[in-house]
């Protein structure tokens, strides 16, 4: 099977290995921008769509949520494609689905067609979140893996910001069809860009294609010695792979359980900590605080800008600070910001400055949440799981993220009706506290460690933070947290 290797001519480049790796991560991460844009643009386009198709409240929710339902399915089904055709080729399939979905949505003759088209887009969104972080992680050097995988997070922020800009600035200049359809440009760029990139060396070793694995790794490593040592390390673990490999039941093996609990827990709290709720419903909350419609949309644009800036900063520091420590630093202040925001709403604090207090608390929450758990949410899915179950586990990880997103966005407005906006903010603040406790207890430090080292620690019972003594740099980072 030749699916995961580009043409031989693509293997020759004058770029240095570090520049090539950054270029590879940037091209693959375009999928994150498509995710951010395609999920975010519906808030700006829905006003026009509702008017054209005469949609009621329920129909609007179905059109908006179809992409999330598709993402859950796409996360799980892409695991088979990834295992059979390889990471690189699966990303190309995802790019093709993005292209078809965007074109179909922009040409929709009615609301049902639009909902189905966004469901198809969801397959691509879910598939990309399952496969892109894994692809980058399997190529990246251990000491740079965090910042390279989080190109994906930053790209999501770029997509969300672009959607907010289009929805606010071009609301009266572009039709909703053009708002949605313009995403065909990056989807085609992703499709053709991936044709020139190398395959995953881990997947190639699994297929017994050692020469191609060495060629792929040689493009992104500084020395031949690094390539030889890493290939030997991958092969050593691969020798145990066949007897360990299994279906979905393999995820229930006792030795795998700590990684699965840690990874899926982080995936859940990435969404349950409230980020998507804030991105989707900021205009609603601010309108309740007395903001005008335009001011609320402008503040939502500010929220998207903060998300992008802080995920970029998180990307720059995650390999130096550590995944676990960064999250433990950021989640408690995010919780405090939500508790304060809840108090402002519930007790009507601030008087004539109430609006400014709401915006301040909202932006502080975005600062700490975006630079913390949002940075590691997708990254952990690419690092924690053993090679034998990586395809299925990353699919489950992505499905957990999208399932949690669906639960959160599907209950946010109902929760504000039951508890008031202030009560809802307190609930989300409590979830941030619970998330921080979970990270402290269950998530080990993975910064600076190879994927093979992480797997060995899992097999030897040294995976959990309390059992990482003797693991060098990882232990110091974990202890400091």
d(CA 145, CA 109): 44
Residue 76 CA: distances (Å) to CA of 18, 83, 127, 202, 392: 32, 12, 8, 20, 7
CB atoms within 10 A of CB 293: 10
* Sign, CA torsion 344/345/349/352: positive
Q: How confident is the model at residue 392 (pLDDT cuts 50, 70, 90)?
A: confident
CB atoms within 10 A of CB 453: 17
Whether pLDDT at 423 is above 80: yes
Query: For residue 11, what are the contacts with CB-CB under 8 A and spacing of at least 6?
Result: 198, 215, 219
Tokens of 77: 């089904």
Q: How confident is the model at residue 10 (pLDDT cuts 50, 70, 90)?
A: very low
Q: pLDDT tens digits, residue range 102-114?
A: 999 999 999 899 9
CB atoms within 10 A of CB 130: 35
Whether pLDDT at 43 is above 90: no
d(CA 341, CA 21): 41
Identify whether the C-beta of residue 46 lies closer than 8 Å to the C-beta of residue 169.
Answer: no
133-147, 288-302, 342-356, 464-478: which has the minimum mean pLDDT? 464-478
Query: What's the rounded mean pLDDT across residues 271-299?
Result: 75
Whether pLDDT at 11 is above 80: no
Domain edges within the chain: 1-239, 242-481
Identify whether the C-beta of residue 370 lies closer than 8 Å to the C-beta of residue 432.
Answer: no
| The pLDDT value given to residue 481 | 38
Q: How confident is the model at residue 32 (pLDDT cuts 50, 70, 90)?
A: very high
d(CA 293, CA 286): 9
d(CA 266, CA 379): 10
Whether pLDDT at 25 is above 90: yes
| The pLDDT value given to residue 244 | 54
Average model confidence (pLDDT) across the chain: 85
Query: What's the rounded mean pLDDT across residues 345-361?
Result: 85
| The pLDDT value given to residue 476 | 40
DSSP 8-state assignment for residue 196: T
DSSP 8-state assignment for residue 15: S
| The pLDDT value given to residue 470 | 46
Q: pLDDT tens digits, residue range 135-152?
A: 999 999 988 888 899 899
Query: What's the rounded mean pLDDT across residues 227-236?
Result: 88
Identify whether the C-beta of residue 287 lies closer than 8 Å to the C-beta of residue 293.
Answer: yes
- For the entire predicted model, the pTM comes to 0.79
**Would you tell me which CATH number, out of the four given (1.20.1250.20, 1.10.1370.30, 3.40.50.720, 3.40.50.12780), belongs to the domain 1-239?**
1.20.1250.20
Q: Which fold has domain 242-481?
A: Growth Hormone; Chain: A; (1.20.1250)
Q: How confident is the model at residue 211 (pLDDT cuts 50, 70, 90)?
A: very high
Query: What's the rounded mean pLDDT across residues 344-365?
Result: 87
The most confident of 48-62, 212-226, 462-476, by mean pLDDT? 212-226
| The pLDDT value given to residue 135 | 94
| The pLDDT value given to residue 97 | 96
Nearest to 254 by CA among 389, 397, 398: 389
d(CA 197, CA 331): 36
């Amino acid at each position: 099977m030749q699916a995961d290797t580009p043409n031989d001519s693509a293997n020759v480049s004058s770029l240095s290995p570090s520049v090539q790796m950054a270029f590879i991560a940037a091209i693959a991460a375009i999928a994150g921008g498509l995710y951010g844009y395609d999920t975010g643009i519906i808030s700006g386009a829905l006003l026009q769509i509702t008017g054209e198709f005469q949609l009621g409240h329920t129909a609007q929710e179905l059109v908006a949520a179809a992409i999330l339902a598709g993402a859950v399915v796409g996360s799980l089904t892409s695991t088979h494609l990834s295992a059979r055709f390889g990471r690189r080729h699966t990303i190309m399939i995802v790019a093709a689905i993005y292209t078809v979905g965007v074109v179909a949505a922009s040409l929709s003759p009615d609301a049902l067609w639009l909902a189905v088209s966004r469901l198809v887009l969801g397959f691509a969104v879910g598939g990309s979140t399952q496969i892109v972080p894994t692809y980058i992680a399997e190529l990246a050097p251990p000491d740079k893996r965090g910042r390279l995988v989080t190109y994906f997070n930053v790209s999501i922020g770029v997509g969300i910001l672009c959607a907010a800009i289009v929805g606010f600035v071009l609301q009266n200049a572009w039709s909703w069809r053009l708002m949605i359809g313009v995403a065909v440009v990056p989807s085609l760029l992703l499709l053709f860009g991936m044709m020139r990139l190398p395959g995953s060396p881990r997947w190639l070793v699994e297929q017994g294609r050692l020469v191609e694995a060495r060629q792929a790794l040689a493009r992104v490593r500084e020395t031949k010695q690094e390539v030889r040592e890493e290939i030997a390390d991958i092969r050593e673990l691969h020798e145990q792979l066949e007897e360990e490999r299994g279906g979905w039941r393999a995820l229930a093996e006792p030795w795998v359980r700590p990684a699965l609990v840690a990874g899926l827990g982080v995936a859940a709290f990435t969404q349950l900590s409230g980020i998507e709720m804030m991105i989707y419903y900021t205009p609603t909350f601010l309108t309740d605080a007395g903001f005008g419609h335009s001011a609320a949309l402008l503040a939502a644009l500010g929220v998207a800008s903060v998300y992008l800036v802080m995920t970029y900063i998180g990307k720059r520091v995650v390999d130096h600070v550590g995944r676990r420590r960064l999250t433990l630093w950021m989640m408690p202040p995010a919780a405090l910001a939500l508790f304060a925001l809840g108090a402002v709403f519930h007790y009507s604090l601030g008087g004539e400055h109430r609006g400014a207090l709401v915006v301040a608390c909202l932006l502080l929450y975005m600062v700490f949440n975006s630079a913390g758990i949002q940075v590691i949410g997708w990254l952990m899915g690419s690092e924690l799981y053993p090679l034998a179950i990586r395809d299925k586990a990353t699919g489950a990880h992505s499905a957990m993220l999208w399932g949690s997103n669906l639960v959160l966005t599907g209950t946010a407005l109902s929760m504000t009706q039951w508890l008031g906006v202030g009560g809802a903010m307190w609930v989300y603040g409590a979830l941030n506290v619970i998330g921080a406790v979970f990270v402290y207890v269950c998530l080990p430090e993975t910064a600076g460690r190879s994927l093979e080292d992480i797997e060995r620690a899992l097999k030897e019972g040294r995976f959990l933070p309390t059992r990482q003594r003797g693991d060098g740099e990882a232990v110091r980072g974990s202890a400091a947290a």
